[in-house]
């Protein structure tokens, strides 16, 4: 009988603990009834973002404290949304257990562009703060939203491959064959160059082999970009006579320059690539892979080659008397298979990843 009584008492105690635990888990905390507000920035304020100071603080957010009527840690999340969308798709920006947070110029610029604002044009975004506590079923509280004005800048320009098309080029008006690439600046992706032979009547630039858009051409003295084939077709970059030209384009500023080329035009019998990229060690410097000379322009060379991570250079006529690298040094390459293009007039090169 005593044993049964002890078991009964133990069951009651355990049930009591379980009840307490469930009560605690189901405790509902409700925030204060009064609305809470952002203190800074002020609604309607304007900020112009400067790409030269990406790590500086762009905005400091401060807001009123929310009281849930019980000692507990409150988590605050700053949220952005496209204006006039009622926060249908909010973006969480930063989370804090204090009533303030900051965002850098680069972070704010990226979010502004993500929300559809245009570079170098003032636009608006909506801002609010959401407060929550960790207790199960606790109710979140949303601040009164504000709208702020932002002028973002274009972020790091993406690496875009551009290929020649048009009557002045080897491809003619074909977008599927003989489309030579132009040469991207390795440090400033928005800038690209090409020095070489053109027939008369000009050219345009496509981004993808086989497609007529995106496409770059001219609108007077400026570059015109065609995003889709339904957009207005731009004019050609002009080559009024057959000959050698130097061409440069800035995709960010949509500017270009084309002038007759008058520099040296040495003709080489062969161009090859050499370096540790061929073998994975220094033995690769004793090996050379020949490039194929273009039938359209004898200063443009090409080869498709699988390379190991390492260093390399281009060399002429199987000799070290004339060689090219990166500003005189070795070219650093990541492992992969590439379509490799080289221009012996200016030493520029392109590595286009290929399956």
Q: Which of 26-30, 188-192, 284-288 has the lowest mean pLDDT?
A: 26-30
Question: Taking 70 as the threshold, does the pLDDT of residue 221 lie above it?
Answer: yes
pLDDT score at 9: 43
pLDDT score at 20: 42
d(CA 104, CA 4): 68
What are the domain boundaries of the chain?
38-151, 163-260, 271-353
Question: Taking 90 as the threshold, does the pLDDT of residue 157 lie above it?
Answer: no
Question: Taking 90 as the threshold, does the pLDDT of residue 136 lie above it?
Answer: no
Q: Are 120 and 153 in contact (CB under 8 A)?
A: yes
Task: State the chain's mean pLDDT as an integer.
Answer: 89
Chain centre to alpha carbon of residue 29: 43
| Confidence (pTM) | 0.64
**Residue 299, C-beta contacts closer than 8 angstroms, at least 6 positions apart:** 196, 197, 265, 267, 343, 344, 345
Strand partners, 275: 312
User: 10: cis peptide before it, omega within 30°?
Assistant: no
pLDDT score at 11: 42
pLDDT score at 297: 98
If one counts every other C-beta atom within 10 angstroms of the C-beta of residue 177, the result is 10
d(CA 142, CA 163): 51
pLDDT score at 29: 57
Question: Taking 60 as the threshold, does the pLDDT of residue 274 lie above it?
Answer: yes
pLDDT score at 4: 45
Strands 146-151 and 46-48: parallel
**Residue 15 dihedral angles phi and psi, to the nearest 5°:** -65, -40
Question: Taking 70 as the threshold, does the pLDDT of residue 224 lie above it?
Answer: yes
pLDDT digits (tens, 9 = 90+) for 185-216: 998 899 999 999 999 999 999 999 999 999 99
Q: Which fold has domain 271-353?
A: Immunoglobulin-like (2.60.40)
pLDDT score at 135: 60
For residues 308, 314, 315 and 318, what is the CA-based torsion angle, rounded to 10 degrees? 40
d(CA 307, CA 4): 80
pLDDT digits (tens, 9 = 90+) for 307-339: 999 999 999 999 999 999 998 799 999 999 999
User: 302: cis peptide before it, omega within 30°?
Assistant: no
CB neighbour class for 135 (10 Å; exposed up to 12, middle 13-18, buried from 19): middle
CATH class, domain 163-260, is: mainly beta
Q: How large is the average pLDDT for residues 118-123?
A: 91
Q: Do domains 38-151 and 163-260 have the same CATH topology?
A: yes
Q: Which architecture, in CATH terms, is 38-151?
A: Sandwich (2.60)
Q: Is 288 helix (H, G, I), strand (E, B) or coil?
A: coil
Closest CA to 160 of 202, 216, 115: 216
Q: How large is the average pLDDT for residues 27-44?
A: 78
pLDDT digits (tens, 9 = 90+) for 138-149: 678 999 999 999
pLDDT digits (tens, 9 = 90+) for 39-90: 999 999 999 999 889 999 999 999 999 988 777 888 999 999 999 999 999 9
């Amino acid at each position: 009988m005593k044993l049964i009584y002890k078991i009964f008492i133990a069951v009651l105690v355990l049930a009591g603990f379980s009840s307490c635990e469930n009560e605690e888990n189901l405790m509902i905390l409700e925030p204060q009834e009064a609305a809470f507000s952002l203190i800074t920035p002020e609604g309607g304020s304007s900020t112009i973002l400067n790409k030269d100071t990406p790590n500086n603080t762009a905005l400091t957010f401060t807001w009123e404290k929310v009281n849930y009527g019980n000692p507990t840690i409150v988590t605050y999340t700053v949220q952005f949304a496209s204006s006039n969308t009622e926060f249908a798709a909010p973006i969480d920006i930063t989370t804090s257990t204090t009533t303030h947070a900051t965002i850098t110029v680069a972070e704010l610029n990226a979010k502004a562009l993500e929300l559809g604002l245009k570079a170098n044009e003032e636009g608006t975004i909506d801002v609010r703060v959401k407060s929550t506590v960790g207790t199960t079923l606790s109710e979140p509280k949303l601040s009164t939203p504000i709208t702020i004005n932002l002028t973002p800048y274009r972020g790091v320009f993406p690496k875009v491959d551009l290929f020649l098309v048009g009557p002045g080029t080897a491809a003619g008006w074909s977008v599927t064959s003989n489309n030579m690439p132009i040469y991207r600046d390795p440090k400033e992706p928005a800038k690209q160059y090409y020095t070489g032979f053109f027939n008369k009547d000009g050219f345009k630039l496509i981004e993808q082999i086989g497609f007529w858009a995106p496409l770059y051409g001219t609108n007077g003295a400026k570059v015109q970009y065609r995003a889709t084939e339904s957009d207005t077709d731009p004019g050609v970059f002009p080559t009024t006579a057959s000959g050698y030209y130097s061409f440069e384009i800035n995709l960010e500023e949509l500017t270009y320059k084309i002038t007759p080329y008058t520099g040296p035009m040495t003709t080489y019998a062969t161009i090859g690539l050499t370096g540790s990229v061929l073998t994975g060690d220094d033995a690769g410097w004793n090996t050379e892979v020949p490039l194929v000379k273009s039938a359209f322009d004898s200063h443009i060379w090409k080869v498709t080659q699988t390379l190991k991570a390492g260093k390399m250079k281009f060399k002429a006529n199987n000799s070290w008397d004339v060689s090219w690298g990166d500003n005189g040094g070795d070219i650093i390459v990541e492992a992969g298979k590439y379509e490799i293009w080289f221009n012996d007039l200016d030493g520029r090169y392109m590595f286009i990843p290929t399956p």
